[in-house]
Chains A and B, each alone.
Chain A
Amino acid sequence: MAWVTVECMALAIRATGLVKKYGDVVALDGLDLEVEQGTVMGLLGPNGAGKTTAVRVLTTLLRPDSGRAEVAGVDVLARPKELRRRIGVSGQYAAVDEHLTGFENLDMVGRLYHLGAGASRARARELLAQFDLAHAAERVVKGWSGGMRRRLDLAGALVARPPVLFLDEPTTGLDPRGRVGMWDVIEDLVRGGTTLLLTTQYLEEADRLADRIAVIDQGRVIALGTADELKSQVGGERIEVVVSTEEQLEPARREAALLCIDQPSVDERDRRVTVPVAGGTRDLVELLGRLDRAGIEVLEAGLRRPTLDDVFMSLTGHHAEAEQAGEVSDDPDDSDDSDDSEGVA
């Protein structure tokens, strides 16, 4: 029965009721997820939401306490080795061998996929060229930059041309230029028809790359849909006004509260008031009039559609990107946090 459903809906990933606990910490709390073939699913959530745990379970690296999952038509728990032939994984930390050269890394991966010596070598060269790493092919990875390692790791995930690909925070730790470069690479891949599950803490990234977004928080999906659907779920548009002094923030907020459909939010550092409204430009004109009459000086004003951050705010009561301070480096020596845990049976 389950098989038939998978075929009909052409699901590349289906997870039901995944639970994973680390002692008292519930990393996955009954996670359900469906990803259609050939689409990009963005798993969006702050640090500690359970994104990495979800990816590790779906890629056979971690056994869940309960729940089921099928990826590329293969039962993850029952036939892990079979599944590994059909997926590519690029984790949050680059899984590359720093004492090997770029070429040797990919060649080794090819051989371990049992592609054969000739095909492994050819594929390694091809990927090094595709990821703009050909110039470093014969250099030991130890001296490479974080961005280069990241690209090599992604290339490693693609060696066997897997139909389903998992990328765990592919741009975390990259500088803005590296991030845009990685986005281009990922968009190219997806154009080729690969199903992609992508995790990210960056709203902008999910918005740009994903067809559908699953917002996850504390180990479960709290909202699901396209970026537009999620935005309209929040309802209305946002007026943003920046006032000239801090003292004017509170009176501005009070004026705004009179016409908005939800509570306005205040950003003290930027002296900005954000107001969800239903009436669009009419409300903007109305609010500006009120502020003017109240003697509040407005430096900037505008109307925008809700962003994913607004979505997160209204779903969870906190910002999605609040915890960015602890941004991780992609030093390959950092082992993944789940590698070395104590007290895990």
Chain B
Amino acid sequence: MSAVAEAVSDAAVITRRNLRKILRVPDVLVFTTLSPIMFVLLFAYVFGGAIGTQDTGVGYREFLIAGVFTQTVVFGSTFTGYSLAEDLQKGIIDRFRSLPMSTSSVVVGRTVSDIGINVVSLFVMSVTGLIVGWRIRTSVLEAVAAYVLILLFAFAISWIMAAVALTVRTPEVVNNASFIVIFPLTFCANTFVSTSTLPGPLETFANWNPVSSVTQAARELFGNVDPDAPVPDAWPMQHPEVYTLIWVVIILVVFVPLSIRLYQRAASR
């Protein structure tokens, strides 16, 4: 086998191993399915009443679903970091390190299997959304594009979390450290409110926040925006797909090599 074929095969083996745990570790199953359902219901019924009166162009539940999708997958990236840090502490990592496997495969397998976890989460959230009144008002193709964009963004963020995990190496610290970043990132955005309701500097931050652009792109692709309502006057909001993809590429270019190097360092001690 060539080095590339080996790397792909090794990553696939690790991916499969990680996916098996979804069904076997109750925490993971809850994390993947129940908490997304909870988020949809929580925002639809608890906050929906309070926030729903503002001018979002469409019904609030319709507005918020794309926001919940983005928020959930970004939160989900902490799971990537957590699991990776946990693996580093478990005995199995010594087996991996003693095998002639490709050194990128543990990290690649982790981030790839987390795409699988996100697919499950998105599916569960979509069904819940449909039950509470969310609708896709465009074509299948556009809806698929929306899902792909969310998954790509989540994939990129999970590489950042991988780097964090490989630096701090303690699962609990990964969790705490990442929430400090992830909470402002997902809430100072258009996920649950329209950015025009935010005060000056926060509005600018929110309009340039890639979390907002993913959400905006998904809303447009699902047809969850009022075509006549004005889009915020910021370039990222005007071109949310392109802006999101630029972020995805930049993050991957920086964090894929970085995380793989960090893993090799963590693994050669």
The answer to whether A81 and B100 touch (CB under 8 A), given A100-B17, A338-B269, is yes
The answer to whether A114 and B20 touch (CB under 8 A), given A91-B91, A96-B92, is no
Q: Is A6 an interface residue (CB 8 A)?
A: no
Partner of A112, one of B20, B88, B93, B101: B101
Partner of B91, one of A59, A87, A113, A332: A332
Q: Is A89 an interface residue (CB 8 A)?
A: yes
Q: Which residues of A lie under 8 Å from residue B101 when comparing CB positions?
A: 112
B92 CB → nearest A CB, Å: 4
Q: Is A94 an interface residue (CB 8 A)?
A: yes
Contact in complex: B91, A84 (CB < 8 Å): no
Interface residues in A39-85 by Cβ distance below 8 A to B read 59-63, 81-82, 84-85
Q: Which residues of B lie under 8 Å from residue A88 when comparing CB positions?
A: 98
Binds A, one of B5-13, B69-77, B243-251: B5-13
Q: Is B169 an interface residue (CB 8 A)?
A: yes
Contact in complex: A344, B100 (CB < 8 Å): no
Contact in complex: B99, A96 (CB < 8 Å): no
Binds B, one of A103-111, A263-271, A287-295: A103-111
Contact in complex: A340, B99 (CB < 8 Å): no
A312 CB → nearest B CB, Å: 29
Interchain CA distance A53-B92 in the complex, whole Å: 18
A94 CB → nearest B CB, Å: 6
Contact in complex: B96, A93 (CB < 8 Å): no
B102 CB → nearest A CB, Å: 9
Binding site secondary structure of chain A:
loop
Closest to B23 in A: A99
Contact in complex: B100, A114 (CB < 8 Å): yes
Q: Is A336 an interface residue (CB 8 A)?
A: yes
The answer to whether A93 and B91 touch (CB under 8 A), given A61-B98, A112-B96, is yes
Partner of B89, one of A89, A97, A340: A340
The answer to whether A87 and B98 touch (CB under 8 A), given A338-B269, A339-B93, is yes
Q: Is B21 an interface residue (CB 8 A)?
A: yes
Q: Is B1 an interface residue (CB 8 A)?
A: yes
Q: Is A5 an interface residue (CB 8 A)?
A: no
Q: Which residues of B lie under 8 Å from residue A94 when comparing CB positions?
A: 91
Interface residues in A143-168 by Cβ distance below 8 A to B read 153, 156-157
Contact in complex: B20, A100 (CB < 8 Å): yes
Residue from B17, B99, B269 with most neighbouring chain A CB atoms (10 Å): B99
Q: Is A187 an interface residue (CB 8 A)?
A: no
Contact in complex: A112, B13 (CB < 8 Å): yes
Interchain CA distance A232-B90 in the complex, whole Å: 44
Partner of A95, one of B13, B88, B91, B100: B91
Q: What 1/0 flags go to B1-39 for Cβ under 8 Å of A?
A: 100001001100100010011001100000000000000
Closest to A344 in B: B269
Q: Which residues of B lie under 8 Å from residue A95 when comparing CB positions?
A: 91-95, 98
Q: Is A314 an interface residue (CB 8 A)?
A: no
A61 CB → nearest B CB, Å: 6
Contact in complex: B99, A61 (CB < 8 Å): no
Q: Which residues of A lie under 8 Å from residue B90 when comparing CB positions?
A: 97-98, 332-333, 335
Partner of A96, one of B88, B95, B100, B169: B95
Interchain CA distance A334-B92 in the complex, whole Å: 11
Q: Which residues of B lie under 8 Å from residue A97 when comparing CB positions?
A: 17, 90, 92
Interchain CA distance A153-B88 in the complex, whole Å: 17
Q: Which residues of B lie under 8 Å from residue A61 when comparing CB positions?
A: 94, 97-98, 268
Contact in complex: A111, B25 (CB < 8 Å): no
Q: Is A140 an interface residue (CB 8 A)?
A: yes
Q: Which residues of A lie under 8 Å from residue B9 when comparing CB positions?
A: 111, 114
Contact in complex: A339, B25 (CB < 8 Å): no
Contact in complex: B100, A84 (CB < 8 Å): yes
The answer to whether A108 and B268 touch (CB under 8 A), given A91-B91, A95-B95, A156-B95, is no
Interchain CA distance A262-B9 in the complex, whole Å: 63
Contact in complex: A104, B20 (CB < 8 Å): yes
Closest to A332 in B: B91
Closest to A338 in B: B269
Interchain CA distance A100-B18 in the complex, whole Å: 10
Contact in complex: B100, A336 (CB < 8 Å): no
Partner of B1, one of A100, A109, A114: A114
The answer to whether A108 and B89 touch (CB under 8 A), given A61-B94, A85-B100, is no
Contact in complex: A113, B100 (CB < 8 Å): yes
Closest to B101 in A: A112
Interface residues in B160-192 by Cβ distance below 8 A to A read 169
Partner of A99, one of B10, B13, B21: B21
Interchain CA distance A112-B96 in the complex, whole Å: 8
Interchain CA distance A88-B95 in the complex, whole Å: 9
Contact in complex: B25, A108 (CB < 8 Å): no
Contact in complex: B98, A60 (CB < 8 Å): yes
Interchain CA distance A40-B145 in the complex, whole Å: 61
Interchain CA distance A61-B89 in the complex, whole Å: 14
Contact in complex: A336, B94 (CB < 8 Å): yes
Contact in complex: B100, A340 (CB < 8 Å): no
Listed by A's residue number, 7 A-B pairs whose Cβ atoms lie within 8 Å are A96-B95, A97-B90, A97-B92, A99-B24, A114-B100, A335-B90, A339-B89
Besides the contacts A333-B91, A334-B91, what 18 more A-B pairs have beta carbons closer than 8 Å? A85-B100, A87-B98, A89-B98, A91-B94, A95-B92, A95-B93, A96-B95, A98-B90, A108-B17, A109-B99, A112-B101, A114-B1, A114-B6, A140-B24, A157-B98, A332-B90, A339-B269, A340-B169
Closest CB pairs A-B (n = 3) = A95-B95, A84-B100, A95-B94
Q: Hey, which bits of chain A sit against chain B, CB under 8 A?
A: 59-63, 81-82, 84-85, 87-89, 91, 93-100, 104, 108-109, 111-114, 140, 153, 156-157, 332-336, 338-341, 344
